[in-house]
């Protein structure tokens, strides 16, 4: 795991000051073959409900190729504890990728993305160039919320655990090898893949990492008959360790901090 004391201090108090997020959210999107409303929502850092409401869509399962969608403001609905957190992630340009492709991938405005990186919108992108992509918080928030709803676990719980574990950062790796947003150990990921997900999960991919954490939390909440504190203790310390040693003091602290985060939404 990452340093619990550092994360706890960051979670309870204000996060370290960061630059004001640059406004790069796309204002519209044209539906392409294979798109679903949920995938579009997650990519643009919003929710299916907000996207459907903004476009008068009665049935979220029915959209058509070529349909122009208005993207609602993705800065709304973030938990209060994210205030001041770094809102930028880095992306390394791959062969054949241009600015418009990267912008579409992240759901950001191409002109604003170019401006944020100090070049023109038509400038070619070289392989290996590292781009700064603003809007990280909204995208991760949408991913956490959507995945929680699909799995059937309280989104507030998943969001709070993810913030406690990593500050919603996929690139975090703990000294013991725990990976990603939900800080899942590889051996735990293998168990989740086999018994909960029904397919191999790649913990290095944000979507699979969040799915693994949400599935594990859902399993632990069910196992402990809805007792959130017990599920949190199991997520942090493990039921086997708790059975042998009882709850460690830092486990109590983990329960308190995550509970406080959930109440701050």
Q: What pLDDT does residue 24 have?
A: 53
Same domain, residue pair 59 and 156: no
Q: Smallest Cα–Cα separation from 168: which of 196, 201, 210, 202?
A: 210
- The answer on 251 and 203 residing in a single domain is yes
In terms of Cα–Cα distance, which of 68, 59, 29, 34 is closest to 46? Answer: 29
Residue 248 lies in a domain: yes
Q: Could you give the number of structural domains in the chain?
A: 2
| 152 and 253, same domain (yes or no) | yes
Q: What is the pLDDT of residue 16?
A: 33
**pLDDT score for 26:** 64
Helix (H, G, I), strand (E, B) or coil at 23: coil
Q: Is the pLDDT of residue 59 over 50?
A: yes
- Rounded distance between C-alpha atoms, residue 246 and residue 228, angstroms: 17
Query: Looking at the structure, do residues 212 and 186 belong to the same domain, yes or no?
Result: yes
Pick the closest to residue 166 from 56, 22, 34, 11 (CA basis): 11
The model's pTM is 0.81
Q: 156 with 198, same domain?
A: yes
Residue 151 is assigned to a structural domain of this protein: yes
Task: Please check the confidence at residue 7 and state whether its pLDDT lies above 90.
Answer: no
Q: Report, as an integer, the average pLDDT of 52-64.
A: 94
170 and 224 in a single domain? The answer is: yes
pLDDT (tens digit per residue) in 69-104: 998 876 667 899 999 999 999 999 999 999 999 998
User: Residue 187: which domain range?
Assistant: 4-12+138-263
Model confidence over 185-198: pLDDT tens digits? 999 999 999 999 99
In a domain, 47, yes or no: yes
CATH label of the domain that carries residue 55: 3.10.350.10
8, 34: one domain: no
For residues 248 and 237, the answer to whether their CB atoms sit within 8 Å is: yes
């Amino acid at each position: 795991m990452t340093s619990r004391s550092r994360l706890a201090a960051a979670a309870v108090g204000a996060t370290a000051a960061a630059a004001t997020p640059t406004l790069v959210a796309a204002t519209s999107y044209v539906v392409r073959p294979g798109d679903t409303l949920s995938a579009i929502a997650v990519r643009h850092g919003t929710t299916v409900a907000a996207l459907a409401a903004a476009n008068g869509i009665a049935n979220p399962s029915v959209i058509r190729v070529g349909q122009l969608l208005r993207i609602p403001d993705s800065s709304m609905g973030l938990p209060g504890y994210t205030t001041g957190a770094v809102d930028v992630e880095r992306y390394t340009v791959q062969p054949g990728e241009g600015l418009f492709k990267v912008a579409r991938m992240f759901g950001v405005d191409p002109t604003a993305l170019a401006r944020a990186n100090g070049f023109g919108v038509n400038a070619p992108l070289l392989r290996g160039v590292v781009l700064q992509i603003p809007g990280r918080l909204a995208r991760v928030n949408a991913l956490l919320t959507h995945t929680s709803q699909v799995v059937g676990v309280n989104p507030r719980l998943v969001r709070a655990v993810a913030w406690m574990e990593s500050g919603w950062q996929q690139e975090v790796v703990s000294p013991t090898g725990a990976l990603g947003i939900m800080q899942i150990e590889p051996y735990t990921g293998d168990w989740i893949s086999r018994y909960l997900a029904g397919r191999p999960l790649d913990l290095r991919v944000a979507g699979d990492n969040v799915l693994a954490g949400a599935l594990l939390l859902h399993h632990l909440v069910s196992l402990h008959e809805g007792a959130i504190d017990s599920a949190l203790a199991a997520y942090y310390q493990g039921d086997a360790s708790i059975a042998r040693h009882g709850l460690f003091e830092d486990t109590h602290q983990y329960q308190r901090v995550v509970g406080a985060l959930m109440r701050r939404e």
